[in-house]
Amino acid sequence: MSAHVVDTNVLVAGNERSGATPECVEAAQQRLRRIERSGTVVVDSTYEILREYERNCRPRKQPGIGDLFLQWVHRNQANPHRCERVHITPGEEPHEYDEFPDDPALATFHKKDRKFVAVAISSELSPVIVNATDRGWWEHREALRRNGITVEFVHPGEFA
């Protein structure tokens, strides 16, 4: 079973609320459904990722695909076959983590996305990080790869 750290923008795109192209929305929806069917999601034990999902989704009001994914994560968070919880260590500054690579090429990487990288590094499952619309992941993809992080772009044409 493949493991995934899912950036919040994938849920937002899946809900058709991101301004993404229709092709990207469809790709995000399909990716979330595949993870639900046969994947494992990796989140942090301090609930930073889940709280961010909750701030950006509204699963009680006409739920979209991203909202349904959030509900799936909640239902499966105690199932070790579908959800891995990992510890990440907060750094001295907000949105910094000891696990985040100390690489000058990543100095401009968005601080609020660093938790996803820290979670991927802390996981024993070698997850990919799934991204839909955030250009910062695209701009830092090579530096992330050099540091052992694989980023999957659900619709790479979004960045061409």
Residue 45 is part of a domain; what is its CATH number?
Answer: 3.40.50
Number of domains comprising the chain = 1
Look up the pTM and report it: 0.96
Query: Above pLDDT 90, what percent of the chain?
Result: 89
Exposed e or buried b per residue across 132-155, where buried means at least 16 C-beta atoms within 10 angstroms of its C-beta: bbbeebbebbebbeebebebbbbb
Tell whether the model's pLDDT for residue 60 goes beyond 80: no
The pLDDT of residue 105 is 98
Confidence of residue 84 (pLDDT cuts 50, 70, 90): very high
Tell whether the model's pLDDT for residue 61 goes beyond 80: no
Residue ranges making up the domain that contains 66: 2-159
Confidence of residue 133 (pLDDT cuts 50, 70, 90): very high
